Every structure is written in structure tokens, then in C-alpha cells.
Amino acid sequence: MNVKEIIDRYYPCENELKNIYMVHARAVADFALGLARKHPELELDEAFIYEAAMLHDIGIFLTDAPRIHCYGSEEYLCHGYLGAELLRSIGLERHARVCERHTGTGLTKEVIERNGWNLPVKDFVPETLEEQLICFADKFFSKTKFLHEPRTFEQVVDSMRKISEDSVKKVEKWAEMFL
């Protein structure tokens, strides 16, 4: 199954949710590919980056996020984990890891436990360079107010500061690597 077929499988109707999904996914994919091409020395897998960036939010339709036309039953925080389950069910393990590891700058089992989040208590932290790049690129594009324009790096840092100083440090490290 190719990326378009996978997206059409879970988003079969042309509607506002699919539009938001596609605009966001394309923006993240284009940005991530642009960064990958700036750094040939990293020998990043560009085909995989495109596919995984297009699929990183595949699970949003299962969540309850009316602002982006999602009317599922799960908490939005679960969209990465849920998307990973969908991709694993069709044999895309590597892509699934991007889904489950792109939230924030990654979620640790300690943070999940401390916050009592409805997620498996394990680490969901980007490990490979491709996972880190897609996670980084995703921070520049929202599915709401920044849908059609990227955030500035300063806005990304400010949004990560609301999460933790560790998130800020990780984004700054990624900026050194990829920008």
C-alpha cells in the first residue's frame, strides 16, 4: 500500500478533517525533506522521511478534537500511539515508530506516569535521525492557527518552554543539527 492509499483508507471522504490533515502532513513532509537535502552528510532516507511525515498524524481521526474536526472517542494526546497501531496493523513498523514518538519532543515513561496520561507507560522518544527530523519539522506546523504558515523558530521554542526546559534543549539541539 502506498501513502495515498493508506491516507484514503482512513480518510476516505473529502472533508475539512482530511483537508487539515493533508495541509499539515504536506507542510511537515516538505519542510523535513528540505532540511534533509541541506544535510547530505547525514545520509538521511528521503523516501522514508516523505512517507513517515505524511503518515505521522494518521491517528488523529480517532481522537476527540473538535477544533480540527476530529470526533473520535480518544484523548488527542493518544493520536501518535493510535496511529502507530494502525500502521503496525499493515506492516509499517518503522513508520509506526515515527507516529508514536513525535508528540512534543518525545514522551518518557516517567512523564507519562507523573501526568497519569492514558498511554502505555514506556518511552516514546525519537531515536533515529529520521524520527528526530520529522518530530522537529512537526513543531513548525500546527493543525489550527498555523495551518497555512510555519511558526518561527522562536515560536517553536516558546511552545516547547510551556512543556519543559528539556524540550527546549532538545529543539535547540535539533536546530543545530538540521537548520
Domain range for residue 85?
Answer: 3-178
Is the model's pLDDT at 33 over the cut of 90? yes
Q: Quote the pLDDT of residue 18.
A: 97
Is the model's pLDDT at 147 over the cut of 80? no
Q: What is the arithmetic mean of pLDDT over 31-49?
A: 98
Q: What is the arithmetic mean of pLDDT over 134-150?
A: 90
- Please, which residues have CB within 8 angstroms of residue 177's CB and are 6 or more apart in sequence? 39, 42, 129, 132
User: DSSP readout, 17-83?
Assistant: HHHHHHHHHHHHHHHHHHHHHH-GGG---HHHHHHHHHHTTGGGGGBEEGGGTEE-SB-GGGHHHHH
* pLDDT tens per residue, range 3-26: 999 999 999 999 999 999 999 999
Q: How many domains does the chain have?
A: 1
CATH number for 13: 1.10.3210
Is the model's pLDDT at 157 over the cut of 90? yes
Amino acid type, 38: K
Instruction: Report the distance separating Cα 50 and Cα 154, nearest Å.
Output: 25
Please state whether the predicted TM-score (pTM) of the whole model is above 0.75.
yes
Q: Is residue 42 a contact partner of residue 129, using CB atoms and an 8 Å limit?
A: yes
Q: Quote the pLDDT of residue 164.
A: 85
Q: What is the arithmetic mean of pLDDT over 40-51?
A: 98
